[in-house]
Structure 1
Amino acid sequence: MRVLAMLRRDLTLAFGGGRGGPWLPVLFFVAVAILFPFAVGPDAPLLARTGGGVLWVAALLAAILPIDRLVAPDIGNGVFDRLTLLGVSEELVLAVRLVAHWLSFGPLLLVAALPASALLGLPGEVLRTLLLGLLAGTPGLAAIGLIIAALTATVRGGTALGGLLLIPLSVPVLIFGAGALAQPGGAGIALCAAVSLALCAVAPFAAAAAVRAAREG
């Protein structure tokens, strides 16, 4: 029951947290699909060949847009301190936060990928691979966002540091997720899912360690 209450709270904050809520990542994702054809020109074969990779990068950036709201406010408001007194570990809190973070943008990105792929002229087979890849990879992107949010929660200039951390953490997901578009089949998506699962398993513990360090600092 306590887990459900935390999940309900996190989802309420995610969907009603102001500054666009969950719609900001989706709007950013669709905006990339709208603007990219203007950047490369009306070359349909080129758009179809590169559009899937562009949408993967857009999904990654969309996943980290709300990270300033994931951890820092609760550290400042003492929420983690109160939950610790109630016997709730930081790992559990952040595991629930990870689920809520993915639910706030992952399903919406999958829906937004349909009009975005139409704007880029992606073939049906590529769209299918893209959707399966995003389904497998977006939990990993959410995990990356949570880790970065915890590491930069109390750091001055955290946005710049977050950008630097994003590159090495996101490379495996992008390699296998976007790589599956070039070689349709199950291998790339399966590897993307494996990396995503590993990130989701590690994220609550890494983020909890960062939160404890921030609270003690």
Structure 2
Amino acid sequence: MRRLLERQQFLRALETSGLLVWRGDESALDVGSGAGEQSLLLAQRVARVVALDPYIEPRDALRTWKANGRGNITYRATTLAKLWDDSFDLIASYLGVYYADLARLPLILARTLRRGGSFFALCPRFWFHPGASLEPAERALQAYASLNPAVRVAFDVRLASSGLSVIETPPLNLPRVPVANVLRISGCVQAATPTGIERILTELKLDYAHPLPTTLLAVRFQNL
């Protein structure tokens, strides 16, 4: 239930700000779908949803949805970078994009996002902000992963060269997320195992539930 409410908070922030206005006939891609909570929320709003996750099939979510007579969610066991045969009006990710994929993200979105479509990703804030503006836990993770924050000016240039643009967003009340949720996607290789996560957290003097601020990466295909 907590995970569902967190993802509901993410989508509602986009809706109440006017960034997401539904027609009902859209296709949507849920990147890093996990157990499928966000896929279920999207399936209530659009015509077709693809739940994308290379590791976890959202069996319970699919079973629940089909039991209610709905069949507009399908699962693909792959990554966004390897998805070549489909395109979408909306691509949404709740901590499902990896830091290592940011460099090639513009080219991937130019291929996968339909013209006029939008991409919204909830990301750890420290991916895009320098150390001086961060909380101690963010600075610790940034240093541990040897992670250089993405320079937004350079990133925006790469987006523009791919026919994409950054969406100007109003202030959004985005959720804070547990530190354990961002270790693996930030490039901390040891975090691939539970013992590895525990080792990292102990070393950084953090715990699983330590909450981190997030930021929104919002992109639109501008070639209308």
- TM class by shorter chain equals under 0.3
| Structure with higher strand content | 2
Give the structure, 1 or 2, with the largest relative contact order (CA under 8 Å, sep 6 or more). Answer: 1
- The TM-score, its normalising length taken from structure 2, stands at 0.25
- The TM-score, its normalising length taken from structure 1, stands at 0.26
